[in-house]
Structure 1
Amino acid sequence: MEIQNPFQIIWENSSNDFAAFFNAKFAKYGSQLAMIDLEDGKQWRYSELCGWVEKCAKRLQEIGVAANTRIAMITCTTCQVIFVQLACSILQAVVVGINGYLPIGHAKYLFKFLHKEIKVIADVLCDFESFANDQNVTTTAKTNNKTGMMIFFSEGSTDPPKPTEISHQSIVINVQQLSCPVFSPPMQNQKFLLAISMLVKNTQVIINNDEMLTRFYILIQKINTFLVYGLTTASGFCTFSKFGNNNYKSVGVPLPGMVAKIVNIETNELCMPHQPGRLYVIGPQIQIRSHRSSKASNSLADVDGYLNTGDFAFYDRDGYIYIIGKIKNLIKYRGTLTPPSQVETFLLTHPGIEDCAVIGRQDALLGEVPAAFVVKTSKYSQLSPADVRQHVFGKIGHIKELRGGVFFVNEIPRSSSGKIIYRQLKQTWERDRSGLRETNSSSSLPNIGDGSTNKEKRGLRIAKLQKSASKPVIQINRVQIKGNTDHNI
């Protein structure tokens, strides 16, 4: 059966572009406080936002940004990124979201999808206070709200990142669907939508540094929070939990206007409650558009137009959805699918295991058997493979036992957002399986995206990016722009 939200809303099917939609919303709140940046204490009121956006658009226009220009934004989490996003919408430019914590090699890989001149904005955006007396920005023809406004990259655990175009209309609708407070892991597009949705609803946005986040996590235990689910190819969020719901195992119900279904992987029949299968979603904000690849776009949808999320999930009788894991990461033991996350979660209950990852090891008789890569804690340096296998034996089901072995490593390869890169583990296994044996000592795996938030490392990566650029990168006060000429802000 299909799953729908029990509450429906009427959203504005506006023909306006992204910036026009939000400018109209800002006007309702007058001089009320809109945003606070806790790092430097800056504050912005709703009545000031349109002015700052126009000033930013004017400066971007002066350095050559126009309709269809692709701007690669490499930033930290800051309020000021909102000004640049809205300014690009006014100019009909396309924003390309790139994680500022990516290693230089990954950033260069993503740049090849742009095909046009790249503007690179550093981790700290410019100080708009010097833009005192500007004229209004001049724009070209009216934007079609179905044209692409942003390009985000899906960050898979087994496949290279893929670019996905998101239209003005998709973002406007998704923000309207987010009529309740939401909380989500810091993916690039989700951070942006969260901040914008708060502005539309006249809620103060507070951007925290690492120290403030630690305090926030302590305080948040005292208030109601809940999970949401979203993905890049769905243009943002797909589900949310009802206010007051304390079921933290579920990602909630579909957003208003959306429909979800779970299909049996083998038979393609609709699943009943508590039967796991492949999750599909459809909704007004979903426009399946892989960047410059119609073939890839077609492969993402079924015959009814539902988006294939690639996730293994089930739902209960109340319509709440539970995500088990990525289908491509499942371990197929004698025809039974086992998510590695369940084994990983139990392994982490051992005090001697700091981090771990579980993959399927090929077996001639059983298909695949679970194999664990484990990082020891410093206090358990003598932890052995037998100790790890004994920890799970008889406690998690016989099909999840570590028949593929236990292998100690110095670190688990993770992406910049913290996802385990199973692809690298499997490649290492295929390359070294002839000589890979269980041992008490730890071996090293090549690191891809260590997820470090260290500002010095990020600055070094940006410096390397500047050095490797095919065009000169110029410093414009606190903004770095890659172009042909020198402009002064």
Structure 2
Amino acid sequence: MPVRSPYPDVEIPDVSLFDFLFTDFGEKAGAPALIDGSSGATITFAELEGMVGKIAAALAERGIGAGDVVALFAPNTPHYVAVFHGILRANAIVTSVNSLYTPGELAHQLSDSGAKLLFTVSPFLDRARAAAAEVGLSNDAVIVLDGAEGHTSLRDLLATTAQPPAQTVTAADTAVLPYSSGTTGRAKGVILTHRNLVANLQQISVMGDVTNDTKILAVLPFFHIYGMTVMMNQGLHKRSTVVTMPRFDLQEFLRIISEYRVGRVYIAPPVAVALAKHPIVDQYDLTCIDVIFSGAAPLDAELGHAVAKRLGCTVLQGYGMTELSPVSHCMPDDRPDLDLNSCGFAIPNVVSKLVDPETGEEVGPGERGELWVKGPNVMSGYLNNAEATAITLDDEGYLHTGDVATVTEDGVFTIVDRVKELIKYKGYQVPPAELEALLLTHDKIADAAVIGVRDAEGEEVPKAFVVRQENAADLTADDVMAFVAERIAPHKKVRVVEFIDQIPKSASGKILRKDLRAREAATS
């Protein structure tokens, strides 16, 4: 039977995300909204609102308006937040781009989303220009935040004397198009409305003790829905101070927490390994940390407890997907007694059920089933992909997550497996089909299949099973890995290669990954 959240439903205002976040900063107007952890540069709430208005006005001057898509390809900085909300304030749509993307991957997202402009930074400019050229965007359509010859800069936009346009978006309009592989296949645009994002902020609001005195560390990328909602926008919603980091570096991570006295740290599980084991951690005063919250991939309870004991803080975790804006389940701050292998309770306004993937029948407490989720945070669908939408969203409004879970009588959910074939490497999604398609372009590879395997650290990594072409005995594992690495984002790299005589397939030609997993289990 469906399991409702144990928490009362919350009210979801029928407003745009901008109106929800930027209405009346009051006494917090002069307080720091954002701090660049690297430089210490600070932007107050009032300054941020002013920048957002200027960016919106400048975009309107360039013809950007309702329904237009603008791509944002940049690392975490305070300026990312200003541009993100400036695009929304211009009545347009943000498509956030993975900062590790190659030109080809970026070009796909630009083309698929129909982006008219691309914001980036000078270190990313070579990739941005190549992708823009591939899809027919001129240099004039590439805005470089920190400036580059021949391109508009953020300073240029902020110099406008125009007024921001009238707001025309409604809660039902699309706000962002992050890209996700969903339960399978190549990355797809996830249509998230203003209502989806506002709803998820209201839903998670009651789960954690985040206040206007909280400092949040944003090391996980804003382009990812976890960073976008839980760090960037929750910080604005709660009038907290968000301290940004452009990339993860352990020593810098520890310095920033210690120096700025950050109390709430959101991580993915690989960071927990460093916090539990690395000797450098003891060199920093981390007594300021109240809560470490892990997401993006399952956190092992033993590891979480080791972090909690070493740092003297509470460690929690949750569950979500890009398609869920992203949070659907989490451990609340006041229940550290829950099993840390679990992902806690369904958040307010969410109904879940577990369904046997083979029979389609609902299962009860203690039984394994695919997690289905319904709530106001569920996406509208996938952009330009009715087939994928129909597979993922059913007629009753349930999103089929592709993850297998159990639930206790008390409503505590635990993710135990995946129906879907997606590999999760350090919280990033790696679709096997994309790697397989790339491998098959190599002239010495006859066939290939990819699955996730565990490395020595327990991390899931992509492993390729490769069938060599005849007369290609000289093809080595290093050759295969180098070929992929040159053509794909770093997190998608093949990290293990095994040569085999034949890829197991069904009569219909579908790769039998379960056979490859069984082979892997037998040899490990």
Structure 2 counterpart of 1:276: 368
Asked if the contact 1:234/1:288 (under 8 Å) is kept, the reply is: no
Of 172, 175, 178, 1:152 maps to 178
Structure 2 counterpart of 1:7: 7
Amino acid of the residue matched to residue 194 of structure 2? Answer: H
Query: SS of the residue aligned with 2:78?
Result: coil
Query: SS of the residue aligned with 1:53?
Result: helix
Larger CA deviation: 192-201 vs 242-251:
242-251
Asked if the contact 2:94/2:176 (under 8 Å) is kept, the reply is: yes
Q: Cα offset for 1:113? A: 0.3
Q: Cα offset for 1:189? A: 1.7
Structure 2 counterpart of 1:237: 327
Asked if the contact 1:310/1:328 (under 8 Å) is kept, the reply is: yes
Distance in 1 (alpha carbons) for counterparts of 2:356 and 2:415: 15
Distance in 2 (alpha carbons) for counterparts of 1:119 and 1:371: 34
Determine which structure has greater relative contact order: mean sequence separation of CA pairs < 8 Å that are 6+ residues apart, divided by chain length. Answer: 1
Distance in 1 (alpha carbons) for counterparts of 2:325 and 2:390: 16
Structure 2 counterpart of 1:200: 237
Query: SS of the residue aligned with 2:402?
Result: strand
Distance in 1 (alpha carbons) for counterparts of 2:340 and 2:44: 35
Of 156, 162, 169, 2:188 maps to 162
Distance in 1 (alpha carbons) for counterparts of 2:96 and 2:315: 27
Distance in 1 (alpha carbons) for counterparts of 2:22 and 2:7: 28
Q: Cα offset for 1:70? A: 1.3
Structure 1 counterpart of 2:398: 306
Q: Cα offset for 1:200? A: 1.2
Query: SS of the residue aligned with 1:225?
Result: strand
TM-aligned CA distance change 1:269 to 1:30, over 3 Å: same
Asked if the contact 2:455/2:461 (under 8 Å) is kept, the reply is: no
Structure 2 counterpart of 1:69: 68
Of 329, 344, 347, 1:255 maps to 347
Structure 2 counterpart of 1:483: none
Query: SS of the residue aligned with 2:197?
Result: helix
Normalised to the residue count of structure 1, the TM-score between the two structures is: 0.66
Distance in 2 (alpha carbons) for counterparts of 1:115 and 1:371: 32
Q: Cα offset for 1:146? A: 0.6
TM-aligned CA distance change 1:113 to 1:303, over 3 Å: same
Query: SS of the residue aligned with 2:329?
Result: strand
Q: Cα offset for 1:308? A: 0.6
Matches within 5 A, 1:12-161: 12-14=12-14, 16-27=15-26, 29-115=28-114, 117-122=116-121, 125-126=145-146, 135=161, 137-140=163-166, 142-155=168-181, 159-161=185-187
Amino acid of the residue matched to residue 283 of structure 1? Answer: G
Amino acid of the residue matched to residue 118 of structure 2? Answer: K
Structure 2 counterpart of 1:292: 384
Cα deviation digits, residues 84-111 of structure 1 (max 9, x gap): 1211112111111110111222222222
Asked if residue 172 in structure 1 is aligned to residue 198 in structure 2, the reply is yes
Distance in 2 (alpha carbons) for counterparts of 1:373 and 1:268: 28
Of 212, 228, 232, 2:252 maps to 212
Larger CA deviation: 114-123 vs 232-241:
114-123
Distance in 2 (alpha carbons) for counterparts of 1:371 and 1:163: 24
Query: SS of the residue aligned with 1:227?
Result: strand
Identity of aligned residues (%): 21
Q: Cα offset for 1:147? A: 1.1
Query: SS of the residue aligned with 1:233?
Result: helix
Amino acid of the residue matched to residue 314 of structure 2? Answer: N
Cα deviation digits, residues 418-474 of structure 1 (max 9, x gap): 97446xx2xx44x3499999xx9977433342239xxxxxxxxxxxxxxxxxxxxxx
Aligned residues, how many? 372
Structure 1 counterpart of 2:296: none
Q: Cα offset for 1:260? A: 1.1
Q: Cα offset for 1:11? A: 2.4
Amino acid of the residue matched to residue 92 of structure 1? Answer: N
Distance in 1 (alpha carbons) for counterparts of 2:6 and 2:217: 21
Amino acid of the residue matched to residue 88 of structure 1? Answer: I
Give unpaired runs (5+ residues) of structure 1. 331-339, 346-356, 358-369, 378-411, 413-417, 453-489
Distance in 2 (alpha carbons) for counterparts of 1:260 and 1:376: 35
Asked if residue 189 in structure 1 is aligned to residue 279 in structure 2, the reply is no
Cα deviation digits, residues 332-370 of structure 1 (max 9, x gap): xxxxxxxx99xx99xxxxxxxxxxx9xxxxxxxxxxxx9
Normalised to the residue count of structure 2, the TM-score between the two structures is: 0.62
Q: Cα offset for 1:299? A: 2.2
Cα deviation digits, residues 278-319 of structure 1 (max 9, x gap): 110011122332112333322212342211111112122332
Distance in 2 (alpha carbons) for counterparts of 1:449 and 1:317: 42
TM-aligned CA distance change 1:12 to 1:136, over 3 Å: farther
Structure 1 counterpart of 2:507: none
Give unpaired runs (5+ residues) of structure 2. 125-143, 147-152, 211-215, 258-274, 276-280, 290-306, 427-431, 433-449, 493-524
TM-aligned CA distance change 1:157 to 1:213, over 3 Å: farther
Please give the root-mean-square deviation of Cα atoms over the aligned residues, in Å. 3.8
